[in-house]
Amino acid sequence: MTAHSALSASALDDDNPLTARKPFHDEAHFDITAMIDLVFMMNIFFLVTTVGAALAEIDLPAARHCSPSDHDAAVVFTMTGGGDRGPVQVYLGDSASGQPLTDPGILEKQARDLIEEASRQRKTVVLIKAEKSVRLRDVARIGRIAASVPGMELKVSVVEME
């Protein structure tokens, strides 16, 4: 063995203190706390906006099974319009004929008077027949009045008017 080869062999030896060693590095890592916070906030944002958008428009399915209401024991309100078709029109009776109760200022008073009169005549049901385009909040106005009269039962139906 030559001196040169002996030197080369000892230079490559790991136990040789004269050779420079490569520094030992840990695996690269970073803190992902900020990323988790961001994803969490994005989930909350999407959840809130999706729920708000879903509640804005409710497309209820058509009823397949229903029981008819006794018209002799009911006071009937028919609601048409609303949505893109202009202001809602409320009619007393089973069809959209006659003079509508359209003035919002007196609509609730007239509806309350009609429901209280029906209650005195021993009618126990308030039936609201509304077109599909009528907003839920318009139906709820009449529904709240009906619920405020003791002994009245509220029924709501969706009808397609021509």
List the pLDDT tens digit at each of the 162 positions of the chain. Answer: 555 555 555 555 556 666 677 777 777 777 889 999 999 999 999 888 877 666 656 565 666 666 666 767 788 888 887 656 667 778 877 776 667 776 667 777 888 888 888 888 888 888 888 888 888 888 888 888 888 888 888 888 877 765
CA-nearest of 101, 123, 116, 106 to 146 is: 116
**Under 8 Å between Cβ of 101 and 90:** yes
What are the residue boundaries of the structural domains of the chain, listed by start?
A: 71-159
Distance CA 94, CA 75 (A): 9
Which residues are bridge partners to 92 per DSSP?
77
Which pLDDT tens digit goes with each residue over 78-96?
888 765 666 777 887 777 6
Q: Which fold has domain 71-159?
A: Nucleotidyltransferase; domain 5 (3.30.420)
Which pLDDT tens digit goes with each residue over 122-148?
888 888 888 888 888 888 888 888 888
**Under 8 Å between Cβ of 79 and 130:** yes
In angstroms, what CA-CA distances link 20 with 12, 14, 112? Answer: 11, 10, 96
